[in-house]
Structure 1
Amino acid sequence: MNKISGWLVVLLCSFPCLASSVQTELRVGLSQNTAPQKQGNTLHFETELFRQLLGELGYQVKFVAVPHARLSLMLQNKQLDMAARQGEEQLAGLFYSQAYLEFHNLVFALSGFPHQLQQVKDMGLYSVASFQNATKILGTEFSQAVQSSPSYREVVDHNQAIDMLQQQRTQLLVLDKVTFYRRWAEKGLSADKVQSFDLFPKAEHKIGFTDQKLQQQVSQLLQKWQDSDRVEQLKKQTRQLSQSLN
């Protein structure tokens, strides 16, 4: 060990705060729809939630935007430290937070659609579009229904999915209620142009981790923020900011 290296070790040992002040950068996986710059400068709820949670815990964040279906695989392969929207299928060797995000998925059709949907299996008679990875998230009954559908497509871009419905390139569209009506209104379309069918239970999403200690740290702080209503306030703030920027 040379003289400079020796003095550095002595310095770090004498002042441990200097060593601990170097922040660890965590690789955080996001679905491509929620990537920080996906909608120009729009700040998305998940992006800000993870940035603020990890920042308060002393971590830096590197966001990695990939197709939703790849997030679990990248966690398993240690290509990510944590990932959004996990939990529909909890995998061995990974760790999960409590739910931080809830979606109420509805089946949308144009107002002129002449039929009633009573059960998920009824969807198999019509062309269907949905968000990515819907066959895993929405369960076996939905997966079986769309196998018999004349046409089924999973679409990453929500605006593109809504265009498909509006332009009658699909008869049915499965999408989160809040997301659909927000994007529909942004296109200048009125709510009476569509109808919806409530066939699915609400879906809860958790954060997935490769490290149990990190999971415990984040989950504890997340629970504190949920109890104090900080998470709900952040949802409102990012939604308002998104609307003002668009």
Structure 2
Amino acid sequence: MRLLLKSCFICFSVLTVPSALSTTPLQVLVGMNKPPYIQVDSSDGYEIELLREIAQRMAQQVEFTYVPNKRILTLLQQGIGDIATLQKPGQDVADIFYSCPYIRYQNVAVTLAANQLVLNSLLDLDNLSILAFQNATLVLPDDYRRIAMASPSYRETVDPRTQVDMLQKQRVQVVVMDMNIFHYYNSKTDHASQVQVHALYTPTLYRAAFRDAGLAVKFNQALQQFQQSAAYPLLQERYFGNAQAASPPPCLP
């Protein structure tokens, strides 16, 4: 299948970016539609704008190619694209170089407040009906995986709207998903009931991956510059209503 879903940014970038920027755009591999982080139709979202800000500080234009998360690193290794996003820290792949963490996701368990469920640890999820994001058992801790594998009422889905809808209609007791994605879709639900958000999981920090070590260094320098700017918390505030909602630890030289 051809990877066609390219950002429209380049269509008008000649008119909107400073002349000092490189005329050869960086090819950036990003995930599929995932508001408020990635919105394919409008070619924006927090992560897209964050990467544009970093690229601008690298004196680079960018083009985005939207692909499933599982394929991002593989495509980079095959010589497709310059930057692979959403890579986990600690991955050891030959001839691949990693940036500092550039974005933080926070998975949570969400329940309806009216159900008064007490979730103090992962073990409290046992015997509850759970609808989680796709591949949650591969991302979350081993204790979570064991509970999920033993539960007859555990399911996963690629559609976060379905998660929120099923929770609000009381068809599941718990949804497991990124906190910012939950709030985005829950805000669009008519007559949404109050919820409780249970922070049972440690944050997930993602890095960018490169075949070119020098490009990784330039990315880190630009990331650090942006993190130290006034625009950085404002970007998070605009998308999440929280100036630190997706901040990883500072990128230090």
Task: Please classify the TM superposition score into its range, dividing by the shorter chain length.
Answer: 0.7 to 0.9
For 2:198 and 2:185, how far apart are their aligned partners in 1? 18
Shift of 1:176: 2.3
Name the amino acid aligned to 2:146.
Answer: Q
CA deviation vs aligned residue, 1:61-85 (integer Å, no higher than 9, x gap): 2212222233233333333322222
CA deviation vs aligned residue, 1:183-216 (integer Å, no higher than 9, x gap): 21221344x5322322112222222223221111
CA deviation vs aligned residue, 1:40-90 (integer Å, no higher than 9, x gap): 537301111212322442433221222223323333333332222221552
The aligned counterpart of 2:85 is 84
Q: Give the direction of change, closer, same or farther, for the CA distance of 1:107–1:152 in structure 2 (3 Å limit).
A: same
Whether the 8 Å CA contact 2:32–2:67 is kept in 1: the answer is: yes
Name the amino acid aligned to 1:74.
Answer: L
Mapping of residues 121-200 of structure 1, within 5 Å: 121-190=123-192, 193-200=194-201
Whether the 8 Å CA contact 2:98–2:209 is kept in 1: the answer is: yes
Whether the 8 Å CA contact 1:129–1:173 is kept in 2: the answer is: yes
Whether the 8 Å CA contact 1:122–1:145 is kept in 2: the answer is: no
Name the amino acid aligned to 2:82.
Answer: D
Q: Give the direction of change, closer, same or farther, for the CA distance of 1:210–1:169 in structure 2 (3 Å limit).
A: farther
Whether the 8 Å CA contact 2:28–2:85 is kept in 1: the answer is: no
Name the amino acid aligned to 1:207.
Answer: A
Secondary structure of 2:61's aligned partner: strand
Shift of 1:106: 1.6
Secondary structure of 1:32's aligned partner: coil
Whether the 8 Å CA contact 1:110–1:195 is kept in 2: the answer is: yes
TM-score by length of 2: 0.73
Question: What is the root-mean-square deviation of aligned Cα atoms in Å?
Answer: 2.8
Shift of 1:180: 1.7
For 1:69 and 1:194, how far apart are their aligned partners in 2? 31
Whether the 8 Å CA contact 1:88–1:136 is kept in 2: the answer is: no
Mapping of residues 101-116 of structure 1, within 5 Å: 101-113=103-115, 115-116=117-118
The aligned counterpart of 1:12 is none
Percent of aligned pairs sharing the same letter: 29
Q: Give the direction of change, closer, same or farther, for the CA distance of 1:143–1:208 in structure 2 (3 Å limit).
A: farther
For 1:69 and 1:168, how far apart are their aligned partners in 2? 31
Whether the 8 Å CA contact 1:32–1:156 is kept in 2: the answer is: no
Q: Give the direction of change, closer, same or farther, for the CA distance of 1:66–1:24 in structure 2 (3 Å limit).
A: closer
Q: Give the direction of change, closer, same or farther, for the CA distance of 1:44–1:24 in structure 2 (3 Å limit).
A: closer
What count of residue pairs does the alignment treat as equivalent? Answer: 219
Structure number with larger C-alpha Rg? 1
The unaligned stretches of length 5 or more in structure 1 are 1-19, 241-246
Q: Give the direction of change, closer, same or farther, for the CA distance of 1:89–1:100 in structure 2 (3 Å limit).
A: same
Q: Give the direction of change, closer, same or farther, for the CA distance of 1:121–1:48 in structure 2 (3 Å limit).
A: same
Is 2:80 aligned against 1:57?
A: no
Whether the 8 Å CA contact 1:123–1:149 is kept in 2: the answer is: no
Shift of 1:226: 0.7
Whether the 8 Å CA contact 1:69–1:132 is kept in 2: the answer is: no
The structure in which a higher percent of residues are helix is 1
The unaligned stretches of length 5 or more in structure 2 are 1-20, 242-253
